[in-house]
Amino acid sequence: MSYNNNIHTLAEKYRQFFEDKTKGQILGIIAPWTFPIDYSSLGLKKRNGYDQWDYDKEYRVFIEQSVRGLEYFTKFTKDLDNDYIPSAGINIGYGIHSAYFSGQEVIMGKDTSWTRPFLDTWDKLEELCINPQTYWYKKIIEGYTYLNEFNQGDYAISNFSNAGPADMANAIRGDELFYDLYDEPEKVHALMQKCCEAIIRLEEDIDKLIEPVSSKSGIGQVTANLWIPGKAPYLSEDFNDLCSLARYLEFGFIYTQKILNHFKGAFIHHHSKGRHIHGAIAKLENLKLLEISWDPKCPRPIENLPGILEEHGELPLLVRCNAEDVYNYIEDIKRGRIILQLQISSLEEGRELMKFIRRNSKI
């Protein structure tokens, strides 16, 4: 399968962005979830949430509808200057991100999914083992098979949005894990090591199903609708955001680093609640891109860019913002190499905003 020229052109632009460490390079992503679109004309099966699907009988239809929605968005925004790379992955809420390893039942809600803790006692730790025959391990692989089947080269296949080792451990053990950091540190290390190995195994199996996206002088992977050179699994660090810097360095940092060492790269997502560990995350070796997202009742990263960039070094940064933010903070944005996830209210607002970004960007 070959991708269309637009995807390769965008990949080349991202390659230049990652290779050239000049500050003032700004890219802008306007994705389907960033502004309202009416999909009713597609005649899709109406479902109000993840809990409305039978994943045994309707999984193929579920995947196909997500692809059709993506294709519609691409056509709807075809005249929009945008650094968004059309890409499809497996998104069924957060619960499946640990259930493929632990075998936990996934509870589906409208907008996400979750699980109950598997390790209600540490005696079960030895029961945890990688098994590609668990229900959600098989479903994730099956989903990627469907994505390839439907793909005619008009979208890239995106990496799986992995829970990082600490996030997976939190899902498997529950919030008792916060106490365990102090009371049972050796068991926490053992659990995070197992989670680390499970993430690597799943990523390697998915890797066999994903066609790399080439630029003019290298290949890479697409995650979060952008291209990253080489291997770059998606990892979340949400649990670590709720820990002290000392606990993060003692636990989470170590196992995230093992994954980066294995793949020689990664994209990491974390939150403004974890602003106190941002500088430490940025020091992970082989890290290629770091996102700091916003949280309710927390300072918004776009409003605190100078301090964040001071800790961030030369690493590219991904932040979310709206149009008004870009106009207000453009001088701060120009101080780094930044990818903006843009929230807009209309296509016209998006067009004008992207014109402004292009005038102010060095790429």
Residue 179: give its domain's CATH number: 3.20.20.210
pLDDT at 33: 81
Give which of 85, 222, 219, 62 is closest to 147, Cα–Cα.
62
- Which token pair is 122? 């540490």
Q: What's the rounded Cα separation, in Å, for the pair 68 and 12?
A: 26
Q: What's the rounded Cα separation, in Å, for the pair 82 and 68?
A: 20
Long-range pairs, 94-98, Cβ under 8 A, ≥24: 94/163, 94/171, 95/171, 96/136, 96/139, 96/140, 97/161, 97/162, 97/163, 97/167, 97/168, 97/171, 98/163, 98/168, 98/171, 98/172
pLDDT at 36: 78
Give which of 239, 228, 101 is closest to 170, Cα–Cα.
239
Split into its structural domains, the chain has a count of: 1
Q: Are 104 and 96 in contact (CB under 8 A)?
A: no
Q: What's the rounded Cα separation, in Å, for the pair 287 and 280?
A: 12
Q: What are the tens digits of pLDDT across the range 173-217?
A: 999 999 999 999 999 999 999 999 999 999 999 999 999 999 888
pLDDT at 1: 64
pTM of this prediction exceeds 0.85: yes
Which stretches of the chain drop beneath a pLDDT of 70? Answer: 1, 46
Give the residue carrying structure tokens 């991100």. Answer: 97
Q: What's the rounded Cα separation, in Å, for the pair 162 and 237?
A: 10
Q: Are 355 and 81 in contact (CB under 8 A)?
A: yes
Give which of 281, 284, 283, 285 is closest to 293, Cα–Cα.
281
pLDDT at 85: 96
In Å, what is the CA distance from 78 to each residue of 31, 72, 82, 347?
Answer: 12, 10, 9, 11
Domain that holds residue 52: 5-360
Backbone angles phi, psi at 181, to 5 degrees: -55, -30
Q: What are the tens digits of pLDDT across the range 242-267?
A: 999 999 999 999 999 999 999 999 99
Q: How many CA atoms lie within 13 A of 316 on its CB side?
A: 27
Q: What's the rounded Cα separation, in Å, for the pair 224 and 110?
A: 22
Give the residue carrying structure tokens 């949430």. Answer: 49
